[in-house]
Amino acid sequence: MAHRDAVPPFPERFNLCDDFLDRNLREGRGSKVALREGARARTYAQIAERAGRVAAALRRAGVRPEERVLIVLPDVLEFADAWFGTLRAGGVFAMVNPLLHREAYAEYLDYTKARVVVTHTDVLPAIGPAIRASRLCRTALVVGPDTGGFTPFEEALAAEDPGSVLAELEPTGPDDLAGWLFTSGSTGAPKACVHVHADFAFNAQVYASEVVGYCEQDVCLSVPKLFFGYATGTNLMFPFRFGGSSVLFPGRATADAIFEHVERFRPTLLTSVPTMINAMLRSPRMAGADLSCLRVCLSAGEALPPALYQEWRQRTGVEILDGIGSAEMFHIYVTSRFGDVMPGSLGRLVRGYEADIVDPAGDPVPEGEPGRMRIRGGSTAICYWGDRAKSVATFQGDTCTTADVFRRDSAGRFWYEGRDDDLLKVSGIWVSPLEIENCLLEHPAVAEVCVVGQEDEQALVKPLAFVVLQPGWPGSEATAAALKAHAKARIAPHKYPRWFEWRESLPKNDRGKVARKVLKAELDARSAR
């Protein structure tokens, strides 16, 4: 059976702008507020009208079906206008972090070959020079007061008629190109995973509806920003598909910012990551926070330590549904569920997905043994754009062989062991850094930790732990000895960290994950001296 059979068949003509946005007008929600950003708000009808104007402006600027539009925006209302307008015109959205440097934007412009960029005043100092130097980019639509000589976004929209031919919905089909989702670049420069319209709609049904239960009453708030596919799904696509609403904020996601937005907007669904769950629990505001509005917290992006899950549940009473997805598969394909959460496990497969745990030769491993996940389902990307070798190695039809290492137990639950290039071979045995990190996080001294491998005097790899300590704990030999004793009592003796380095904070990537590769590079640079 084809995996797309897990959802009703898609019609011959299918466009995500219609499925996620326009259907709300047909179902009577045109006057409902769909997005809030501070004091600003937009209804479904207003967003639909503005998406039509964006589509017309893009077509006037020369964008043709299946051509990329580069969206470089913070989480402002105009993100939805640009995103839906691109799809309405038949274009392909390519979303990029608005906090990058000029060199990175030049690379993205060259890679996407975008004719049009939609960006923001705050991004212009970095992206403006890259746009001017671009060989192919012809138009930049800029949101905000200072447009740097480029076209003001509102001026471009005001010049268009939302009822014109230029604003009409492009008659795309379910297998037409819709969006590029960039990998996190954990093993090199980010690459674009190319997705079609049906990929996003498929996961919206089998995960968003059937697992999380998105509905018209939901108010959604996200820690990750909209350029990240995890948040594009949970805080834009999914609430729109089921008639809910979302809260956006353009600033940095901090524990204070989340507490403030929860207090002001009373969301029912919080999209988060373990780093922020930990930050909220450590915040002095936690004791007085009222989180009773939340019906669920979603977690993905990095492993959720069992100790963190248990503390959150104990202190808030709010369930966390942990899961794993990827740019290659668009969104979450393994997840825990209400009433079926086992701390430390990511849960079971989402309906419509199948998986094998395989060895380096691609053969399934015995139950309980670790290996790479080979996942297949109705949202698998077509390829990595511009990288045939990597595409062939990763994608086989609707199957994707990931770099993530899992084991599956007899109950069908999946347990994450890390990425295959993160595993350490200690005393001749493969060791998952996550197992050591989860063990250390159970000690009251540890707030955050990242474990990497370092060679000892005999050039043998042993675990080193970078640790952020809880207030009141000194970075001392005595603390290190206590943590070693704690680890030795709970995990196999060869796995305990031989060294500890105390840090005020750990580096994070643009997805909010601890940047393990930055710490690895630091150690490599040290050893090369």
Q: Which spans in 74-217 are helix H?
A: 77-88, 102-112, 124-133, 153-158, 197-203
Q: Is the pLDDT of residue 147 over 60?
A: yes
pLDDT for 186? 47
* Residue 268 counted as domain residue: no
d(CA 53, CA 262): 32
* Final residue before a domain boundary, out of 128, 144, 172: 172
pLDDT for 148? 94
* Residue 286 counted as domain residue: no
Q: Is the pLDDT of residue 429 over 70?
A: no
Q: Which domain holds residue 19?
A: 15-172
Asked if 59 and 88 count as a contact pair (C-beta separation under 8 A), the reply is no
Mean pLDDT of 102-121: 95
pLDDT for 183? 86
- pLDDT > 90: percent of the chain: 79
Confidence at 123, pLDDT banded by 50, 70, 90:
very high
Confidence at 3, pLDDT banded by 50, 70, 90:
confident
pTM: 0.85
* Residue 350 counted as domain residue: no
Mean pLDDT of 296-309: 90
* Residue 326 counted as domain residue: no
- Residues whose CB is less than 8 angstroms from the CB of residue 451 and which lie 6 or more positions away in sequence, other chains included: 424, 433, 436, 437, 440, 463, 464, 465, 466, 497
Residue 456 tokens read as 């000892």
- pLDDT > 70: percent of the chain: 96
Q: Is the pLDDT of residue 190 over 80?
A: no
* Final residue before a domain boundary, out of 152, 172, 192: 172
Q: What is the CATH number of the domain that holds 452?
A: 3.30.300.30
- Residues whose CB is less than 8 angstroms from the CB of residue 174 and which lie 6 or more positions away in sequence, other chains included: 10, 11, 14, 196, 197, 198, 201
Q: Is the pLDDT of residue 474 over 90?
A: yes
* Residue 204 counted as domain residue: no
Q: Is the pLDDT of residue 267 over 50?
A: yes
Cα→Cα distances 282→134, 254, 306, 311, Å: 45, 12, 16, 11
pLDDT for 187? 46
pLDDT for 528? 66
Q: Indicate the average pLDDT of the chain.
A: 93
- In the chain, the number of structural domains is 2
Asked if 416 and 324 count as a contact pair (C-beta separation under 8 A), the reply is yes
* Residue 361 counted as domain residue: no
Confidence at 2, pLDDT banded by 50, 70, 90:
low
pLDDT digits (tens, 9 = 90+) for 285-294: 999 999 999 9
Q: What is the CATH number of the domain that holds 165?
A: 3.40.50.12780
* Residue 375 counted as domain residue: no
* Final residue before a domain boundary, out of 172, 197, 219: 172
Q: Which amino acid is at 149?
A: G
Mean pLDDT of 351-370: 92
* Residue 483 counted as domain residue: yes
Asked if 195 and 382 count as a contact pair (C-beta separation under 8 A), the reply is yes
pLDDT for 286? 96
Asked if 90 and 172 count as a contact pair (C-beta separation under 8 A), the reply is yes
Q: Is the pLDDT of residue 459 over 80?
A: no
**Measured in Å, how far apart are the chain's first and last C-alpha atoms?**
57
